[in-house]
A and B are shown apart, each in its own frame.
Chain A
């Protein structure tokens, strides 16, 4: 019954949406948004770029599912900022799982490690625009050095 319904709706959808064959952009390319001010007109332009990480990808990491711990057996600490910084955006927020390609457990663990690194002030350049960027200028007790113990991560 369900498959029948599905077939019916899909055929309906195909007949209705037949006309929409216009693609708004060339599909599947990495883009960078440029902001330009020309004659008092602010122009936002999506420019196709090559991924900055394309040529330095590690060979086993080129598969869609790659966890540093499950696949390579790496023990990642919160001080390994060169690895952790690859999983965050330029404002320091964690990339979602459909982009990182980690398994559920590793995604949670990596998120916790990123939080630890940020709290310890090890990635001060990957921060929101309003950030002071210097861990020594934080308020109260947060301005002093702190480190974290990875075994306290529950998952």
Chain B
């Protein structure tokens, strides 16, 4: 095997590390993206019996966004196994308890329940904020593009942009400013 082929072989089967910023992202849209990279579905060599999945570091999971009132409509069910042990937790209550759990469950539920799922989940590294340990961050070589753009708050827009933005509605002549 030539050197070039050996490098190609090494590069093909090496585990890459990706980073994904969850700020203002829908966890269930993100789960599809993260799942693809975790399982290695984006690789041409993918095969269910071929262990070619990558690592994904997911940061800022406490900043995820849900559409409309889904924070109170989405319910997580748990049963302890004892009689009367059923409990229903709203998404926002779960997110308040553990800011990584909604994202984790979204990725877990996006995959089929087979023997590989637990091992694939071990390659997922979730962080509530952007404080990632140095030894994890040094591995990262790729950033996954986010599907939603982060909206800008009006009070965070700089003064120059605010002043130079064209106006499309003017006050009438007899208007009292307030």
Q: Beyond A89-B178, A147-B148, is A68–B154 a contact (Cβ under 8 Å)?
A: no
Task: Give complex CA distance A17, B72 in Å.
Answer: 61
B108 interfacial by beta-carbon distance below 8 Å: no
A112 interfacial by beta-carbon distance below 8 Å: no
| A83 neighbours in B (Cβ, 8 Å) | 168
CB nearest neighbor in B for A98? B172
Is B151 a contact of A144 with CB atoms below 8 Å? no
Q: How far is the CB of B100 from chain A (nearest CB, A)?
A: 14
| A95 neighbours in B (Cβ, 8 Å) | 169
Is B153 a contact of A124 with CB atoms below 8 Å? yes
Task: Give complex CA distance A127, B163 in Å.
Answer: 20
Chain A: number of interface residues, binned into ranges: 35 or more
Is A86 a contact of B168 with CB atoms below 8 Å? yes
| B66 neighbours in A (Cβ, 8 Å) | 144-147
Within 8 A of B (CB), among A1-46: 27-33, 46
The contact of A32 among B90, B155, B176, by CB within 8 Å, is B176
Is A100 a contact of B169 with CB atoms below 8 Å? yes
Interface size on B, residues (CB 8 A): 41
B95 interfacial by beta-carbon distance below 8 Å: yes
Is B166 a contact of A58 with CB atoms below 8 Å? yes
Task: Give complex CA distance A85, B171 in Å.
Answer: 13
* Contact pattern, B 60-77, Cβ under 8 Å of A = 1, otherwise 0: 000111111111100000
Q: How far is the CB of A41 from chain B (nearest CB, A)?
A: 22
Q: Beyond A31-B177, A86-B168, is A152–B95 a contact (Cβ under 8 Å)?
A: no
| B160 neighbours in A (Cβ, 8 Å) | none
Is A90 a contact of B169 with CB atoms below 8 Å? no
Is B24 a contact of A147 with CB atoms below 8 Å? yes
The contact of B168 among A46, A61, A81, by CB within 8 Å, is A61
| A30 neighbours in B (Cβ, 8 Å) | 171, 173-177
Task: Given contacts A100-B169, A147-B26, list 11 more A-B pairs with CB under 8 A.
Answer: A27-B174, A28-B173, A30-B176, A33-B176, A61-B166, A81-B157, A82-B161, A98-B172, A123-B155, A125-B155, A149-B67
Q: List 14 A-B contacts (CB under 8 A).
A: A30-B173, A33-B178, A56-B163, A57-B166, A58-B167, A81-B154, A83-B168, A122-B153, A124-B154, A140-B92, A144-B95, A146-B66, A146-B70, A147-B65
